[in-house]
């Protein structure tokens, strides 16, 4: 890759590594599903304005039938479901633990990539990495079986998020290569916002006048940097990297998230969580130790 692509990769890791902290500030006061929907609705409008300013067509008719189906699916499994889950999860577990558990995303990417390409990508070190990551997640899970049901549901929600986004990354790599990243992300965010707002309108009753400047500032950060900037960078890089290579972000982000959570909120991981986190990250590193062969057009 060119130096500018490595710069984009580093910027993406830094922003996404701090969005976990931003979400924590938001969900301490705001309803999770509705706020996630607002985040992506505003982000979609900003991206649409940017696309029109650059002369990009936002017409739905420009997409082939299979591309339309893919964008609708990605609006659910890349935006709606994952971000509903992560906003819910951070009501019950720390931002640092959320980011660490999400690093299992890389394992799900490799699993779905194996299924899609019909070749076994879990060999040797990768298989050991898969087993290590599973063991680390189990170590984080077990103490919570006898603890708070809310905390346990938060952990389960993050694993659901990792699975959904892992599937979405592989489908996007193989099916969205010809879609303009800005236009494709705009449609996905708009669709995801509709799903989130629809569910939020049934389950939640927000009171927008009662939130602190901190919560509003965190939401603005998530909209501009955590949504508009990062998703365009992500899809641009996805055209130039294999999904499993790009998913190495998931063991850089936790280190940034842990540092940010400790510095700003004083978050600390308990003994089992810390040990499990180290094992999960070691497993993810093993999964990526052998760099995959770039895919055609990747």
Placement of tokens 């998703």 in the chain: 231
Q: Which of 223, 198, 165, 193 is nearest to 80 (CA)?
A: 193
Q: How much is the average pLDDT of 59-81?
A: 93
pTM of the model: 0.77
Calculate the alpha carbon distances from 15 to 11, 54, 64, 119, 138 in Å.
Answer: 6, 24, 33, 33, 28
Cβ-proximal residues to 135 (8 Å cutoff; 6+ apart), any chain: 279, 283
Cβ-proximal residues to 9 (8 Å cutoff; 6+ apart), any chain: 1, 237, 246, 249
Write out the two tokens for 121.
Answer: 């990508």
Name the percent of the chain lying above pLDDT 70: 87
Contact 81, 36 (CB under 8 A): no
Write out the two tokens for 214.
Answer: 């901190």
- For the stretch 111-138, pLDDT in tens is 888 888 777 666 667 677 777 777 777 7
Chain mean pLDDT for the chain: 82
Give the pLDDT score at 290: 52
pLDDT at 164 over 60: yes
- In terms of pLDDT, which residue wins out, 73 or 244? 73
């Amino acid at each position: 890759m060119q130096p500018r692509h490595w710069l984009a990769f580093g910027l993406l890791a830094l922003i996404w590594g701090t969005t976990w902290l931003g979400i924590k500030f938001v969900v301490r006061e705001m309803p999770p599903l509705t706020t996630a929907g607002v985040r992506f609705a505003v982000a979609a409008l900003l991206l649409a304005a940017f696309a029109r300013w650059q002369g990009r067509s936002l017409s739905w008719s420009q997409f082939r039938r299979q591309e339309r189906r893919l964008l609708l699916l990605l609006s659910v499994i890349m935006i709606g479901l994952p971000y509903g889950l992560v906003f819910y999860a951070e009501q019950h577990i720390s931002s640092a633990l959320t980011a660490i558990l999400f690093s299992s995303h890389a394992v799900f990417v490799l699993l779905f990539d194996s299924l899609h390409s019909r070749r076994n990508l879990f060999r040797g070190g990768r298989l050991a990495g898969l087993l290590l990551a599973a063991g680390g997640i189990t170590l984080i899970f077990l103490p919570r079986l006898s603890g708070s049901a809310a905390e346990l549901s938060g952990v389960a929600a993050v694993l659901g998020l990792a699975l959904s986004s892992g599937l979405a990354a592989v489908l996007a790599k193989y099916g969205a290569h010809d879609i303009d990243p800005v236009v494709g992300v705009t449609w996905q965010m708009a669709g995801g916002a509709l799903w989130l707002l629809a569910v939020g309108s049934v389950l939640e009753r927000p009171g927008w006048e009662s939130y602190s400047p901190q919560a509003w500032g965190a939401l603005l950060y998530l909209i501009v940097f955590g949504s508009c900037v990062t998703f365009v960078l992500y899809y641009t890089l996805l055209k130039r990297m294999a999904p499993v290579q790009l998913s190495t972000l998931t063991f850089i982000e936790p280190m940034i998230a842990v540092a940010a959570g400790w510095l700003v909120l004083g978050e600390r991981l308990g003994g089992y969580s810390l040990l499990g986190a180290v094992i999960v990250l070691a497993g993810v590193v093993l999964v990526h130790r052998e760099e995959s062969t770039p895919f055609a057009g990747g």
